[in-house]
Amino acid sequence: MKSARTVISENFFRRFKDIFAPHLDALGIDLALLERADIEIPGEQYVALWEAAGSCNPAIGLTLGSQTEADDFGALGHALHCAPSVEKALMTLHTYLVVFAQESSIDYCCEGRQLRVTYQVTDATVLNRRQDAEFAIAAILRQLQLITASAVRPLRVDFEHPRPADVSMHKQLFMCPVFFNQPTNRITLPAQVLGLPATRGNDRLFKALEPYLQQEREQRNISDELLPRITRMIALGMASGLPSLDQVSQYLGLSRRTLQRRLKDLDIEFSVLIEEVRRDLAMGYLNHSDYSMTQISLLLGYAESGSFTRAFRRWTGHSPQQYRLAGRTHGTGG
């Protein structure tokens, strides 16, 4: 089911293939990702690939994000650089990011003297995503600098993940206060950035690209809208008890019958989806947190840890303790 939410390779992976190639086999990713611009991979594999690359170079997300070019993101990248204004470029990024990556969202707002651009992975079960976040924020800054042909400098940068041991690259790249363990990933810029000229703006070419992006967006949204919203509700509400089909349908503003029909169209059983979210969260907590087994059991909606242990054995063939130990022994942090 997760394969419905994909990231398209575009030119980016071809350009940096030497960095990503050593990690493909371990993650079960086809080598074609590095050779063609139209390959789609599941969003969770995309994030895991970044984390694997980060195991060799902890600053890889920042490094590559600061080197991105328009062509790295295909038609979306070209549309950003043809946009007649900075605000239109940001609106394009917000509206059409799904064409490149269904796992992610970008929003922006202007409040007083500050422009805030926010980035998030929308799959609540993907817990370890530092490199993806750092790549995205660095790439946003880089693209704004290219679009305006000016040395745009942020006022502040926020990241969801914990503070890394080495933040020298963060300081060098952003040259502003950088905060970690924040509610979201965000780059805050002077509001005047919105008024900077788009030096390569070409309204005629932008209008030619936009219908294609809209068509691609509609096509990718067919599978993109319902499943992640249900998954997110299940993941966020699990500690308070598993949501029922009636609760989910009410949250989505659908009748129970309509929701059942749409799940059937996607070949999804509600009970199976809950189990998959539980499993993905369990693996994430075991690999990327220090929660005890009792705490993880409660976070997953189990009344006692024995039930969690039995379920985990059913999913993986191992106990949670064995899985955690194996992950840390082999460094499977991605």
Q: What is the pLDDT of residues 241-263, one digit of tens each?
A: 788 888 888 877 778 888 888 88
Q: Is the pLDDT of residue 5 over 80?
A: no
DSSP secondary structure, 11-71, as one string: THHHHTHHHHGGGHHHHT--GGGGT-SS-EEEHHHHHHHHHHHHTT-TTHHHHHHTT--GG
Q: Distance from CA of residue 329 to its chain's centroid?
A: 27
- Average pLDDT, integer, range 280-293: 88
Task: Mark whether 189 and 236 lie in a shared domain.
Answer: no
Task: Mark whether 214 and 145 lie in a shared domain.
Answer: yes
> Tens digit of pLDDT for each residue in 155-189?
999 999 999 999 999 999 999 999 999 999 999 99
> Tens digit of pLDDT for each residue in 261-283?
888 877 788 888 888 888 988 98
**32 domain-assigned:** no
- Average pLDDT, integer, range 92-107: 91
Task: Mark whether 195 and 233 lie in a shared domain.
Answer: no
| Predicted model pTM | 0.71
Task: Mark whether 212 and 311 lie in a shared domain.
Answer: no
**Tokens read off for 140:** 């946003």
* Domain boundaries, position 72: 61-221
Q: What total number of domains does the chain contain?
A: 2
pLDDT band at 73 (very low <50, low <70, confident <90, very high): very high
DSSP classification of residue 185: E
Task: Mark whether 120 and 232 lie in a shared domain.
Answer: no
pLDDT band at 127 (very low <50, low <70, confident <90, very high): confident
- The 10 Å Cβ neighbour count of residue 210 is 17
